[in-house]
Chain A
Amino acid sequence: MSSLTRTLISRGFSDLEMCERFLGFPELAGLDTVELLDALSVADNPDMALQSLVRLLSAAPQGRRLLGHVDPDTEDRVPNTPLFRLLGASEALADFLMRHPHNLDVVDPAAGPGAWATAGELRDSLLRAVGADPSSGRPVAQLTGAEARMALRSQYRRHLCELALRDLAAPSPQDAMPLVGAELADLAGAALDGALAVARAEVGATAGAENVAAVRLAVIGMGKCGARELNYISDVDVMYVVALDTDAPAAGGLDESGAVRIGNALASALSRAIYAPDREPGLWEVDANLRPEGKDGQLVRTLDSYLAYYQRWAQSWEFQALLKARTVAGDPELGQEFEAAVSPLIWASSERDGFVESVQAMRRRVTANIPDADADRQIKLGKGGLRDVEFTVQLLQLVHGKSDPRIRPRATTAAIEALTKAGFIGRTDAALLFNHYTYLRVLEHRIQLVHMRRTHAMPTAPAQLRALARALQGPNGSKRPSAESLEADWAKVKRSVRSLHERIFYRPILATAAHLSAEDAALSTDAARARLAALGYRDAAGATRHIEALTAGVSRRAALQRQLLPVLLGWLADGVDPDAGLLAFRRVSDALGTSHWYLGMLRDHQAAAERLCHLLSSSRLVSDLLEVSPEATAWLGNSKELVPLSFEAQWTEIQAKLSRHSDPMDAIRLVRLLRQREILRIAIADSCGLLEPDQVSAALSDADRAAVLGALHVAESEVQPAGEKLTDVLVVAMGRQGGREIGYGSDADVLFVHRPLAGLGDGQAEAANQQAKALVQRLTALLTAPVRPAIQAERVLAIDADLRPEGRSGPLVRSLDAYAEYYARWSSAWEAQALLRARPMAGSDDLAAAFTAMADPVRYPAAISAEDVLEIKRIKARMESERLPRGADPARHVKLGRGGLSDVEWLVQLLQLQHAHAHPELRTTQTLQALHAALDLGLLAAEDAEQLEAAWRLAGRIRNANVLWTGKTSDLLPSARRDLEAVARSCGHEPGSAAAFEEEYLGLTRRARAVFERLFYG
């Protein structure tokens, strides 16, 4: 290994081959290589410094004298450290110095690093650069056009070099970051002032100088510029306020609209001076999109016009944006008038309606995953990024700022300090937050500085990562940190930022409730409640009590919950009813608190814990069931456990149970427990969005079927002991159960059939009938009778046999032959219609086949008489007026109301009765399948079928959503807003869309009803 290679490595160079090549270039001839390499080693990225140096010397040979000087005392050659630091940090600024070598004096060692520039100095300098008089109230440039752009931009970049030099010389870049951000904002403001002077000259040439002089224009900085924490390169967000100076000589000839017109021209010219393409590239985009009405709004407005807008139209986020508004250029008095006028509006905004919603929307926006493929390389928007810190700080400002003016500073770093002083953030957390914020900002700054590009992505090349790691240490860092160490540090910061949000926002609530250590910020009770209320907890006092109970004591559970609760509180708050969620969590936790897997799951399995919080705060059904079977919580950690069990699997399990338990009541209890368990599983999977609505119905039907089959077996063993069996019994599902379209808590509509065993004597026919009757009565009783120990929170499966021939007055069970005879002789139209949905559910396959063979000719008649069709229509018409519960609004009844389930089903069934004989595709017990078949056959127009299907699906979902949310069966679209919100979310709508959801349902069913009336009643 040559000694040069070794030297290069020890000085921190990466691409040795390239460096050796560059060192041989003539520009460096005559320089001592080792001395040069030593000098270059102070750069964060020595490779880049070397390349830039060669290019610089080639463009500006006079730069050679700046490489170092001889110390007069020691006579040692001292390298020009600032120059090398700059070359190793920014290619873009090196390019600038090459373009304009006369600016090289900024790195003259004789000049020294210089103090931080004030806003006034920068403004004066940039105004003078374009030949404007800084002392004038409305300075006008002497330069215009390309000349002005060149002068303004190169002077800006000269100051940027000075600023970068100071930044690079700061012993601790993180400590210097707020100063850097402030000076960058001041420099941007100065550039805007310079550009405004140019604009005044340019617009004056066409609109008359005296007219332009009569127009006052203030540039209000928003975002980071307003907050005085700007990046090296970013859009500068502004708004323009215009006013007519009535004292100006030309004012007489100008009215307000004239002033607005000139203001518009000034703003456009200003933006051109800053950003229009030219030989010296543009600085940054001047972005005025935060103005009222955004892109479509007027570019400049008068103060009155702004106020009129803000008082009348503005939305919450616009007030949040105004938090950062500050006059950055132009007429300072006008700007201050603006600030003074809008500031009361900002803080009054938190009293507006919908503040909680907007805070929640803000939380969602922040926590929403960034779709970007390289999200995990994002310093700004990624998880644990800058945006998270800013959000935490702004949220606290909004929640507490209206009562406490001390915490209203615009800049993030200043706000952290103020919040700490006011006691809203604990000292330790504040120090961490500050540290993380400046850490991330320094990363961002140094990444942007290289090419002056607007990027927030962490580089991937190891050399760049090493340079960044070095940059974070500052110029005096001794070791050369590795790329890996930077990645590790950054990951740590990201993790910490994520948890800090929870810690800072929620932990003080806990501290207040649970009297934790003094280290945490001591929130007053009111402040803690304000935070809970801002999250959407309605009963903040109650919530505080639950938190107290959950965190009190020295048990392992309490200790763990103290750790976890800050996160859980946030997740619970995402649900519709955080209060109920917290209470339910407390109950589940009381039931399970000591089982180690539960604590383990909460601690280690974030997705499961998040799911649990979601369930508890959005579903009463699940909360109630979890309370009695808390062990089901374990499923949450494993998505496989949330796949509904197939009917076969359930039946295998039931058989195993029946074989072990000979006592019928013991056996049926286990069957019923199994059904309850499966319902819970389905409800959880449904609430977590893992199941489609069709799958929910099918799974619920399977669970009921398994239970009925189990009950049939138990009843058989009781009523037909060995050797006494006279007949086979078949349970046929009817109605929605027949179509596998049931919801939570649906009754099982059934029809019982039996067939006496072959070879029975004549006298035994009646006995067989009696036995069948006893059997089905027993079956019904087994499913509903109380058992011991009682099954808590059970939703018993009620058996409803009212759809049998002759309804309630007919015999409960008939033999197959009796049915055949009945249907042949007496059957009325509605009985044939009811049979359309008949599906054998439990009993022998043989009998099932025989039953189907008997039923098919009845339900799929070769021809249906006009009288029968009319009869069906009449029954439906009568039902509409009679069956609707008293006082119910037909528009909101999902089952019997207009355009609801029953409308669609009757229409489909009528089509089946009329056409299923000719078209076997229509022979199905399922509504949608039949509807689709009818569509394919051309019996329905496509748009009609679409309306019907949409209404039917939505009505079904609402039924289920009602039960999930309240735990009670209801066929009404709720009208209370919160219930509606919960149902809307359960049906897959965005939070906050209750009213839109209601409109959607009412409109959909109104149109479906119109289709139904046209097609059914004709």
Chain B
Amino acid sequence: MNRQQEFVLRTIEERDVRFVRLWFTDVVGSLKSVALAPAEVEGAFEEGLGFDGSAIEGLARVFESDMLAQPDPSTFQILPWRGNGKSEQTSRMFCDVLTPDGEPSAADPRNVLKRTLAKAADMGFTCYTHPEIEFYLLKSDKPGPDGVPVPVDQAGYFDHVPGGVAQDFRRTAVTMLEDVGISVEFSHHEGGPGQNEIDLRYADALQTADNIMTFRTVIREVAIQQGTYATFMPKPFSDHPGSGMHTHFSLFEGDSNAFHEPGAEYQLSKTARQFMAGILKHAPEFTAVTNQFVNSYKRLWGGGEAPSYVSWGHNNRSALMRVPLYKPGKGQAARLEYRGIDSAANPYLAYAVLLGAGLKGIEEGYELPPAAVEDVSLLTSAERRLMGHDPLPSSLHDAVRQMEESEFMAQVLGEQVFENFLRNKRDEWQEYRLQVTPYEINRYLGVL
């Protein structure tokens, strides 16, 4: 029993915690939860908690289904939306998934990220991320009479809505996030009606991924409490912007920011350029992970701010990767923003592949192509081809095909997650192909 574990047990005792939820994620990033009575927690620390992995999407096949969930005591947190005030609290811990022999399971997404971070550590880096998460607030989880979801308001970017539902919502949500130890940097109304953005403060990549999982739960809980519904679906409206999860990355070597080099172009160090080159080079291969649903491609190719071509730029809002404006004297804040990822990605896998691609760029010394200065989406396709702005995959099918061919992806995810993920996505595409969509009915039924 180590100190952190002791701390958890003591807190459970002192705070009158009645339930401890163990959280982990499946391969697509859905949160899985199992509740323990406080008395069972010690055993779970020591031996892990057995469960049937084959029941979890992409975790195991039937013939090797026994798995263990081992709680990570450093993630212990009281959940403020449960329990009544000071007593009968509910808490949660994230789990690592282990094989019955107590080895980290190769199929656990959290382990995939941990492995990538360990590799970064071997190269002397610690990785920090800072996500900007967009989502829609709807009146309910059912679409309206015209088949389109109904947002809670009709406001736009940065709009202040007097007495607005969204404002109340953001205040409550931010307070609750702070209560569970997630620092919020920024929150505002986004471009679409009912669309909001909340930025989390930068933190270590594993912690950020854990935070995103918690964040989604908190947002949904608060919405329900207020009689609304929050969705992270990448593109719920044909006519309004999709929900992205732009993420800023920075690498630190010891105490110093490895991306910062005073005097260089955009103050970008060689490490930063190689990191960015790595991400750009492998972006088409990992898009299946960062944009993992059929619906994700409606956002990527739906116009607006969503980036669809491999490109980077300094403050260029059409670029896939952006070098944010440099503020003098803020060398430690040097970072790179990846704008392709959407709000429904599995954060563990998405960050693992992004960091993995960047690290590969550093390791192999990739050359960064020139920056895009114009709006890439306004170029002709011939121009884009000439300038090396390859398109991202145009559909889930296309993305899966590109991922299948990628040795890089097999390496970062590990052979098992690679295989499980692909299987899951092929199935999804297959199901989607069988659908006759409202578009087809509207378009063809009357005329054919």
Contact = CB atoms under 8 A, between A and B. Distances in A.
A313 B415 contact: no
A353 B63 CA distance: 27
Interface in B83-111: 99-103, 106
B415 A1002 contact: yes
B416 A1002 contact: yes
Given A887-B62, A977-B101, A995-B106, A1006 B121 contact: no
Given A348-B2, A889-B61, A977 B99 contact: yes
Contact of B415 (A297, A994, A998): A998
Contacts of A887: 61-63
Contact of B103 (A296, A351, A891, A995): A995
B339 to A, nearest CB: 30
A293 B415 CA distance: 29
B410 interface: yes
B145 to A, nearest CB: 46
Contact of B121 (A298, A313, A348, A976): A313
B254 interface: yes
Contact of B2 (A351, A975, A977, A1003): A351
B64 interface: yes
> Taking each of B62, B64, B415, B419, which has the highest tally of chain A beta carbons within 10 Å of its own beta carbon?
B415
Contacts of B419: 891, 1002, 1006
A770 interface: no
A888 B415 contact: no
Interface in A960-993: 975-978
A883 B64 CA distance: 20
Contacts of A1006: 410, 415, 419
A999 interface: yes
B304 interface: no
A257 B254 CA distance: 12
B415 A891 contact: yes
A889 B416 CA distance: 11
A978 B419 CA distance: 23
A1003 B101 contact: no
Interface string B392-410: 0000000000000001001
Contacts of A888: 63
A170 to B, nearest CB: 47
Given A888-B63, A975-B64, A999-B415, A296 B124 contact: yes
Nearest to B410: A1003
A995 B98 CA distance: 13
Nearest to B255: A257
B414 A999 contact: yes
A636 to B, nearest CB: 31
Given A891-B419, A975-B64, A1002-B415, A298 B254 contact: yes
Given A976-B101, A1003-B415, A293 B63 contact: no
Chain A interface size band reads 20 to 34
A994 B106 CA distance: 12
A436 B103 CA distance: 41
Contacts of B102: 353, 977
B422 to A, nearest CB: 11
A1006 B254 CA distance: 38
A976 B106 contact: no
A352 to B, nearest CB: 8
Contacts of A298: 254
Contacts of B99: 975-977
B63 A978 contact: no
Interface string A886-904: 0111010000000000000
Interface string B54-94: 00000001111000000000000000000000000000000
Contacts of B254: 297-298, 305
Nearest to A885: B63
Interface in A304-359: 305, 313, 348, 351, 353
Contacts of B124: 293, 296
Contacts of B101: 976-978
Interface string A648-692: 000000000000000000000000000000000000000000000
B193 to A, nearest CB: 44
Contact of A976 (B61, B100, B410): B100
A995 B103 CA distance: 9
Interface in B117-174: 121, 124
A245 to B, nearest CB: 20
Contacts of A1003: 410-411, 415
A1007 B407 CA distance: 9
> Taking each of A888, A976, A978, which has the highest tally of chain B beta carbons within 10 Å of its own beta carbon?
A976
Contacts of B3: 348
Nearest to A888: B63
A916 B414 CA distance: 40
Contacts of B411: 1003
Nearest to A351: B2
A55 to B, nearest CB: 52
A1002 to B, nearest CB: 3
A952 to B, nearest CB: 18
Contacts of B100: 976
A510 B100 CA distance: 32
Contacts of A296: 124
Contacts of A977: 99, 101-103
19 contacts: A297-B254, A298-B254, A305-B255, A887-B61, A887-B62, A888-B63, A889-B64, A891-B419, A976-B99, A976-B100, A977-B103, A998-B106, A999-B415, A1002-B415, A1002-B419, A1003-B415, A1006-B410, A1006-B419, A1007-B407
The 8 closest A-B pairs by CB, nearest first: A1002-B415, A977-B101, A975-B64, A977-B103, A887-B63, A889-B61, A999-B415, A1003-B415
Given A1006-B415, A1006-B419, 15 more contacts: A293-B124, A296-B124, A305-B255, A353-B102, A887-B63, A889-B61, A889-B63, A891-B415, A975-B99, A976-B101, A977-B101, A995-B106, A999-B415, A1003-B410, A1003-B415
